[in-house]
Structure 1
Amino acid sequence: VARQDRTGDQRLVAYVVCGPEAGSDDEDGSGLAGALRAHLGGRLPDYMVPAAFVRLEALPLTPNGKLDRKGLPAPDDDAYARAAYAAPQGAIETALAEIWAELLGVERVGRNDNFFELGGHSLLAVQLSSRLSQAVGVELPLTRLFATPVLADLAASIVEALSRAGPQELPAIAAGSRHEPLVLSFAQQRLWFLAQLDEGSTNYHIPLTLRLRGGLDRTAWQRSLDRLFARHEALRSVFVAPEGKPRVEVLPPDSGLPVLEHDLRGRPDAQAALLDLCHEEARTPFDLARGPLIRGRLIRMSDAEHVFLLTQHHIVSDGWSLGVLLRELSQLYQAFEAGRDDPLPPLAIQYPDYAAWQRQWLSGERLQSQAQYWRDTLSGAPARLALPTDRARPAQQSFAGASVPVIIDADLTRGLKRLSRQHGTTLFMTVLAAWAAVLSRLSGQDDLVIGVPSANRGRREIEELIGFFVNTLALRVDLSGEPSVSQLLERTRRTALAAQEHQDLPFEQVVEIVKPPR
C-alpha cells in the first residue's frame, strides 16, 4: 500500500507475514528489509520496489475476514532498507557525483544514489547531459539517464560508450570579434520578423514588479541597475536593418539603464495612481532599432516602501534570464550599499557569441538529423485543435483573452509525484499527459500537438547569461486506441524525451520544414 511518510511524501510499503526463522539473526529487522528489497530489485523496475517492509505475525482482518487496511501499522525506521553510503569509484563515477551534487544541491552523492530520487527532473537532466559532455566527452541521451538513474549504473554505461567510440570533442562557445557585424540568434530573428509585422506591439514585453520594503539606497539601486546593464550585452542590444537585413548593434556599456522616478507619498489616490503607472508602463512599446530594450520605473509609495517596475523586450531576455537578473541585482545592491566593489565574476562570453556559435554549430549532419526527426514526427499532424469554443476562431490572432486559475494543492501534488515515481515519469510528463487527455476529450481528437516552452540552455557556458534562448517544442501526443493511464504516461514520456533530445532546432525552422496549413 502507499502510505505517507514523515515528510509528507507517499511511499510504497510492503507488509510481510513470515515465520520466526526469517531474519532470526536480524535484531532490528532492517536486514530483512534490505534482503527483500535486493531480491525484488532484481526482478522489478525500481519504482515498483517498496521503500519499506513491515514484518507482521499475521495480517489484520475485519470481522468479515477481509484485510483491514486501516489496521496496517505505519512503518518504523527499521522497516526501511537503508542504502548505506558507498563512495564513488573511479574517475567517471567521481566526475558524475560532483556534477550531481552541484546540480541537485546536495552535499554528498554515493554510487548507489538515484538521480530522480535526489530531486532530479527533465530540466536538470538536460543540464547534466551538457556538463557531462564537457567533463568526459560523452553526449548522454536522456533516455539513457531515465533507464539507468543510479549513479554506478549510469557511470558503467558511460564507460562502455567511451570504450566504444572514445571521448568526443565538442566545439566550445568562444568570444568573437566586435569589429564585424553581429548576427541575430535564430530566436531573435523570429521575434524581429514578428515585430516588423506588428510595429508598436507590446505582446512580447516581459514585465517584472518588485515591492521593496525598508529604506532604499536609491544611488546604490541605480548603480546596481547600470552595472547589470553594462555586464550583459544582450540588454544593450538593438536591432537595425539598413538594407532590410537585420543585424545587432550594442549600446555603450556606460549608457546606463533608463529609470523614471515617481513620488506618490501622501497622495490619497496613491493606489489608483500606481495602477495607472503600471498600465502606462505595460502599454509603452519599445523601439527595437534605438533601444534600450529594458527600462525601469521606481515609484515611491512611502519612505519605507517602493514599487519597482522593470520591463524587457523578449528579444533580449526570457524566463530563465529573470532568475539571473534578480540574483545578480541582489548581489550588486548588497555590495554597493555596503560600500564594496562589484562582487560578480566577469563573463567569459556574451549573447552575441552564442548567436554566432549557434549558426555554426547547428549545421551539416547535426542540422539534417534534427530536421529529419521533426519532419517525421509532425508529418500529417492536425493543423489545429477543434475545441468547442463559444466564439469562432478569429482570422488574425488578437491575444485578447483571460486567465483561469487552477489550484493544485499539496495533497494532489503528492499524489501526482507518487504516480510519476510509479511510472518512471517526471511531474511535467505526468501533467502533460493529463492535459492531453483533457484536450482529447474536449476536441474528440486522438492526435494532438501541444506546444511547450524549452529553456534551451543545454550548454554550461550560457547558464549565467541574460538573453533570449527559450525555444518552443511541438509535442505530438498519441491518444489512439483508448490507452490506459499507464500506456498514456509511457507514450508521453517517450514523446517528451525525444523532443528534448532534438530541441536545438529553432521552432521557426521546424515550421518551415513541416509547412503546416497557416
Structure 2
Amino acid sequence: MPDNTQLSESKRDLLQRYLYGRRATSSVGPSSIARRTTNSVAPLSLCQQQIWLNAQRRGVPPFYNESITLHRKGPLSPAVLEQSLIEILRRHEAWRTTFDVFDGQPVQIIHPTPARLPLTVVDLRALAENDREQEARRLAEAEVHRSFDLRRGPLFRPTLVRLGENDYRLHMAVHQIIIDGVTAYHVLLPELACLYQAFSESKPSPLPELPIQYADFAYWQREGLQGELLATQLAYWRKQLEAPLPVLHWPNDRPRPPKQTFRGTIQPFTLPSGLSSEIRQFAQSEGVTSFAALLTGFFALLHCYTRQVDIVVGTVSSARKRSEVQRLMGYFLNPVPLRVDLSGNPTVRELLSRVRRVSVGALSNDEVPFEHIVEKLRPEIDPSRNPFFQVAASLEPSMPDVDSSWNLTPMDITSGGARWDLYLVWDDRPDGIIGRVQYNPDLLDAATILKMLEHQETLLGKIVSNPQTHLSDLTI
C-alpha cells in the first residue's frame, strides 16, 4: 500500500498534484480527458469518493455489495471463461484497483493484470433438478453477503455454477465502487460474450484498445468541477432544495429506528406485457422517455399514499457524458434529489410536464457530488433518514445486442443491505418491463411491498389510458 516511504520522489510529486489540483501546465484543458502520466496511483473520482466515505461505516450490512448474474445457455469452458475475464481485467484498470489513504486522502491503486483469476466453479448436476436453483442462490448469497476489503481487494468475486448440460450462471459479487449499470449491461456483458467467442475459436481479442482509463476520468473530473461551474450548479440546488424541506410520510409498518439500519431485501416484479407496450406508446406520444412516464406514476403513487403535494424522490445521474468514457468499466453515478410540486390537482399530462422539467433541471446540474450538496446546504440532520430523500427510483440501461445465448440480471441476489428506505428500479426489456424493489425490512413488510406493486400497476394503467385524468381521480 502507498505511503511516503514506498513512493519515489517523482510519484509522490505527481500524486500531490492529482490530489490537490497542483498540476503542471498543459495544452490539454479540462474539456479533453488526457492520459495521466503515472500508472499506479491516482485520486478517486468524485463519484467513487462518496462510496468510499460511506463504506467506512461499521456495524451495518454490506449495502455497497452488488450482485450480477450472467446467464449462459450453451456449452461453456471454465478455462476460456477465465481467459476472457483476465483480458477484461487487462483492458479495464478499474477492476484491478484497490483503495488506500495517502496524506489523509483516499487514493486508488492500480495493480498489474493477474496471471490467474480466483474463479470458483461449482457443478450442481448431481442434485435433484428442483434443488439446483435453491443451491445456486445459496452460493451466490454467501458471496454477496461477505464484505470486501477495499485496501486489499479484489473487489469482485466470480462463481460459475453449472445447473444443467448447457445451463450456466456466472454469479458475480462486486463492490459498487467499481461498477454501475452501464458497466454491467454495455461493457461487461458484450465484452465477455465477444471475447469468449474469439478465445473459444483460438482467435485474438477483436476489441480495440481503450483510449483512456477510469483513473484518467477521475483526475479530469476533479480538475473540471471548480469555479463558475461549481458555483452555478450549487446555486441551482440551493433554490431547488430551499427550506422547508418535506419529509415523506410513508406509511411504515413499524416505527422508524432512531438510526438508519441500512438493512435491505429485494422483491422482483414484472409488469404485464400489454401495459409495458402501452407505457412505451404513451411516453412516445407525450414526447418523453419511458423513465419520465414511470417516474410520474411513482410520484402519483406516493401522493396517493401520503396526500402530500411537495415530494422529493431520489434518482441516480450518470457522469458518462463524454464519448471517451462510454466503454469504460467503473462507477460513474451520482444521487440527485427530484423535488416535484404536485399542488393544484394537476392532470396526468401536467404532472408529467412537471416531472420532466424537474428531471431535466436536476440532470443538467448533476456534476456536484451529492455529499457536497449536503455539506454546503446543511439540511437538518436526522440520523434515522437519508438527507433530502428516503425513497429513490431509476431505470436500468437498455439490453445490448449480444448473442442470445448470453443474458444478464442485476441485483437478483440480496446483500442484506440497502442505502434507502425504498429503491424502485425498472428494467425495460424487449419482452416487457421488469424490475425490483429494494426495501428496508425494519420499516416495511413484504406484504406491503407486494400491495404497493399492485397499486403501481393499477395507477400506470390509469395514467396511460387518459392523460387528462386529474391527480385526485387516480385512486388505488
- Pair in the same fold by TM > 0.5: yes
Query: Which of the residues 123, 134, 155 maps onto 1:293?
Result: 155
What is the match of residue 315 of structure 1?
177
Give distance in 2, aligned partners of 1:222 and 1:405: 30
Q: Per-residue CA shift, 1:185-233, capped at 9, x if unaligned?
A: 1111111111111378421122112333332222211100111111101
Rounded Cα–Cα distance in structure 2 between residues aligned with 1:252 and 1:291: 13
Structure 2 match to 1:454: 317
**Local SS of the residue matching 2:42:** coil
What is the letter of the counterpart of residue 277 of structure 1?
L
Aligned to 2:33: 173
1:229 and 1:256 in contact (8 A); partners too:
no
- Counterpart position of 1:103: none
Secondary structure of 2:293's counterpart equals: helix
1:79-478 counterparts in 2 under 5 A? 171-178=31-38, 181-198=41-58, 201-241=61-101, 243-268=103-128, 270-323=132-185, 324-403=187-266, 407-478=270-341
CA contact (8 A) 2:250 2:305 kept: yes
SS in 2 for 1:300: strand
**2-structure distance, mates of 1:179, 1:416:** 47
Measure, in 2, the Cα distance between the counterparts of 1:303 and 1:389.
Answer: 46
Q: Which runs of 5+ in 2 are unaligned?
A: 1-28, 382-476
Cα pair 1:450 1:474 within 8 Å, conserved: yes
Aligned: 1:481 with 2:341: no
| 1:486–1:246 distance in 2 versus 1, CA, 3 Å | same
Q: In structure 1, what is the equivalent of residue 358 of structure 2?
A: 495
Distance 1:416 1:218, change over 3 A: closer
Letter in 2 for 1:484: T
Distance 2:139 2:378 in 1: 43
CA shift for structure 1 position 515: 1.7
- Aligned Cα RMSD in Å? 2.3
Question: Greater strand percent: which structure?
Answer: 2
SS in 2 for 1:454: strand
Consecutive unaligned residues in structure 1, runs of 5 or more = 1-168
CA pair 216-408 structure 1, distance change in 2 beyond 3 A: closer
Paired residue secondary structure (2:162): strand
- 1: CA distance, partners of 2:75 / 2:56: 43
Kept in 2, the 8 Å contact 1:416–1:430? The answer is yes
> Is the CA contact (8 Å cut-off) linking 1:264 and 1:270 kept in structure 2?
yes
Cα–Cα, structure 1 residues 273 and 486, in superposed 2: closer, same or farther, change >3 Å?
closer
For 2:292, give the aligned amino acid: M
Task: Return closer, same or farther for 1:181/1:270 CA change in 2, 3 Å cut-off.
Answer: closer
Residue matched to 2:400: none
Shift of 1:420: 3.3
The one-character-per-residue Cα deviations of 1:352-408 (angstroms, maximum 9, x if unpaired) are: 000000001111111111111111111115252012222112222234455555543
Distance in structure 1 (CA, Å) of the matches to 2:284 and 2:261: 40
> Could you list the per-position Cα deviations for residues 284-317 of structure 1 after superposition, in whole angstroms to 9, with x for gaps in the alignment?
2111000111121123345543332112110011
Q: Which residue of 2 aligns with 1:12?
A: none
CA distance in 2 between counterparts of 1:360 and 1:343 reads 34
Kept in 2, the 8 Å contact 1:383–1:516? The answer is no
Between the aligned partners of 1:354 and 1:207, the Cα distance in structure 2 is 25
CA contact (8 A) 1:320 1:455 kept: no
User: Residue 439 of structure 1 aligns to a residue in which SS?
Assistant: helix
- Give the match's secondary structure for 2:315: strand
For residue 273 of structure 1, report the CA deviation from its aligned partner: 3.5
Task: State the match for 1:8 in structure 2.
Answer: none
Alignment partner of 2:120: what SS? strand
Residue 352 of structure 1 aligns with an amino acid whose one-letter code is: A
CA contact (8 A) 2:42 2:215 kept: yes
Q: CA deviation at 1:423?
A: 3.7
**How far did 1:271 drift?**
4.6
- Kindly name which structure, 1 or 2, has the bigger radius of gyration based on alpha carbons: 1
The worse-fitting range, judged by mean Cα deviation, of 493-502 and 380-389 is 380-389
Q: Is the 8 A contact 2:124 2:132 kept in 1?
A: yes
- Alpha-carbon distance in 2 for matches of 1:334, 1:258: 21
The letter for the 2-side match of 1:173 is I
> Which sits farther off after the overlay, 308-317 or 419-428?
419-428
TM-score by length of 1: 0.63
Mapped partners of 1:340, 1:180: distance in 2? 30
